[in-house]
Amino acid sequence: MAAEEFDLFVIGAGSGGVRAARMAAQRGARVAVADEAPLGGTCVNLGCIPKKLYSFAAHYAESFEESHGFGWSGTAPVLDWAALKSNRAREISRLNDIYAKLLADAGVQILRGRARVLGPNEVDVGGTTYRARRILVAAGGRPVVPDVPGAELAITSNDIFDLPQFPRHLVVVGGGYIACEFASIFRGLGAQVTQLYRGEQLLRGFDDDVRHFLAAEMGKKGVVLRTHADVARIDAEARRLRVTLLDGSSVVADQVLYATGRVPNTARMGLDDIGVALAANGAVIVDEHYRTSVASVYALGDVIDRLHLTPVALAEAMTLVDHLFGSAQRRMDYELIPTAVFTHPSVGTVGLSEQAARERFGAVRIFRSEFKALRHTLSGNSERTLMKLVVDAASDRVVGLHMVGDDAGETVQGFAVAMKAGATKAQFDATIGIHPTAAEEFVTMREPVVA
């Protein structure tokens, strides 16, 4: 039986889906959004937000150690894992409620349950069929564990926030940003951490200087990184887990976190049955207006597998809504998207790595500075900061900006505006620094290390 008719039916109330639903409704469209999980999607429930909260938690132990250099004394703090989990859960549920209110206030109908596409204009949720002029698939992605023997013993990022027991020893498998973040966070919270990565160095695709520098800094904090480490199998052994590598060596841990990849959430959604073209990994294939091979069906966010970042899903959603229900003026620009990796220390980056800039521009000038941040002159922490600028020699434009250090994301966000505006190295040089900060280094580096 067909129920209501909508102008837009959104599958997935995550970053992209909520933004698209709200904005379309605010422009007068009749909108429904369906989700089978708590509102807010990966970012709110299992990604950015809980991860950053745990990253804050992890910093306290180190800050306590550092405080001695500033005259503080006292007994070492002890982590109450149960308290951290329940405080996080309370905050996330507050955010879930805010999302529900934002959607309801905009006039969006919220449907709870798994959605399945029945036709180009029909969606089933819990046995009811809804008709819509357009369907938007914003179903995100999910972590996958490769098919090694014992894979079922491993956990993913979906499980780690709510582990019943805090792991005294955690093995993290993977070298991408999620793997590195959890390695740092759990090390900071007090776990012994071994990170296994089968490649040569962490954070493939980032600037090589950043990758090597971060690996060294994480090592100083106690993360045991093993590169060229391929997992052969995982076995349960006396209430612990033994991870055996292809080289025959093994590590015993309480938990094994697999963070080696995510796949788009398109399985059993009916998309291929109605002729929506999918890539080999299940990603929905879309054109520049996020339209799929079926004219009434659109997709955006992680499910199209471009850049897995919340602000990207939000921007794609605003571009699509403007195209469908607004002035159609807005264009999505994938150039110079800044990102951070919330490791300890953190990474902030915008633009091209040195290698990518050389490939694109040929001649580049490199400015690089490595130093001990002022705080650590008294803190006793041996952490160092790296800052790097990549400049196109022909135009003098700053085409890459990279930082490893405290609050790198906060620092890099502002510089991303300058770079988006086409700032040159001469304009960086003409900018007065804020003293004493680490960020001032970006406007005071004068001598290139590579000219």
Ligand X SMILES: Cc1cc2nc3c(=O)[nH]c(=O)nc-3n(C[C@H](O)[C@H](O)[C@H](O)COP(=O)(O)OP(=O)(O)OC[C@H]3O[C@@H](n4cnc5c(N)ncnc54)[C@H](O)[C@@H]3O)c2cc1C
> Which residues are annotated as catalytic?
435
Contact 182, 282 (CB under 8 A): no
Tokens of 78: 């002890």
**Dist CA 32 CA 10 (whole Å):** 6
Cβ 374 to ligand X shortest distance, Å = 27
Q: Between 48 and 106, whose beta carbon lies closer to ligand X?
A: 48
* Sequential DSSP letters for 88-143: HHHHHHHHHHHHHHHHHHHTPEEEES-EEEEETTEEEETTEEEEEEEEEE---EEE
The answer for 140, left when phi > 0, alpha when psi is -120 to 50, beta otherwise, is: left
DSSP structure class, residue 304: G
Nearer to ligand X, 139 or 387 (CB): 139
Radius of gyration of the chain (CA): 24
| Of residues 301 and 351, the one with the C-beta less far from ligand X | 301
Question: Which residues of the shown chain bind ligand X in the complex (CB under 6 A)?
Answer: 11-17, 34-37, 41-43, 46-48, 51, 114-115, 138-140, 157, 178, 265, 269, 301-303, 308-311, 313
Residue nearest to ligand X (CB): 14
Provide the 8-state DSSP code for 363.
-
Q: What is the spatial distance between Cα 18 and Cα 370, in angstroms, rounded to a whole number?
A: 41
Please, are residues 336 and 416 in contact by the beta-carbon 8 Å criterion?
A: yes
Token pair 């264009």 in the structure block, residue: 331
Closest to ligand X by CB, 16 vs 150, is 16
Rounded to a whole number of angstroms, the minimum distance from the CB of residue 117 to ligand X is 9
Smallest gap from residue 254 Cβ to ligand X (A): 20
Least gap, CB of 219 to ligand X (angstroms): 22
Cα separation, 364 vs 391, whole angstroms:
5
* Residue 283 Cβ vs ligand X, minimum distance, rounded to whole Å: 11
